[in-house]
Amino acid sequence: MISKEVIVKNSTGLHARPATLLVKKASSFKSDVSIEFNGKKANVKSLIGVLSLGVTRDSSITVMASGDDETHAVEEIVKLIKSLEE
């Protein structure tokens, strides 16, 4: 398992559109991908899970992955989160 912290800079945090993009990206990997925020953890392949965390702008989250392509999965998810900055 590997993990990496990232700051969410998107003005709406991880809601609706950004969360949907994350779920689509995470679903393309074989690894289990999750994010942790305020002590809560959610599967990034679950839209309800991501939305339930209530991640807001300027929040620090931890992206974690475990599996065959874990390194690539974390890199791509972090890159996507950073690209959502508005």
Active site residues: 15
- Angle at Cα 79 formed by Cα 63 and Cα 58, nearest 5°? 65
